[in-house]
Amino acid sequence: MSKVIYILNGPNLNLLGKREPEIYGYQTLDDVRAQCEELAGELGLKTVFRQSNAEHDLVDWVQEAREAADGIIINPAAYSHTSVAILDALSACTLPVIEVHVSNIHQRESFRHHSYVSARADAIIVGCGVEGYQLAVRHMATRLSD
């Protein structure tokens, strides 16, 4: 039976490829989804790929993943810097968690330098563009095979 990873995406990532392409690039979230699904399939994993602009959806999906998944990859986007609720949901979960950011949040505005989610993440991938998602899928496959 294939292991399942949830790939969760926060606010404004639905605009990937359209919003500030000089920072986030030109690939869309649908492109990212297709790349993740293809790579996960090659690695024997299944994905549940979701995006919401609503914090409560992300909290609900993390709670759902506790029962339905083997790992979580999350790009909380702007909620990284504000959401104790997402941190609490992840902290109540024993699954491996990988945090992904398309841009290097440490080279951006100072308010972006701190991520609440990082306190719970087992690995953090920043500044690799959308390729960071594929790196996360590969790393999750390695973690789940150990």
- The catalytic position among 6, 101, 116, 133 is 101
24 noted as active-site residue: yes
SS (H, E, C) the chain: CCEEEEEEECCCHHHCCCCCHHHHCCCCHHHHHHHHHHHHHHCCEEEEEEECCCHHHHHHHHHHHHHHCCEEEEECHHHHHCCHHHHHHHHCCCCCEEEEECCCHHHCCHHHCCCCHHHCCCEEEECCCCHHHHHHHHHHHHHHHC
CA gap 54, 88 in Å, rounded: 16
101 noted as active-site residue: yes
- The catalytic position among 24, 79, 116, 133 is 24
- Residues tagged active-site: 24, 101
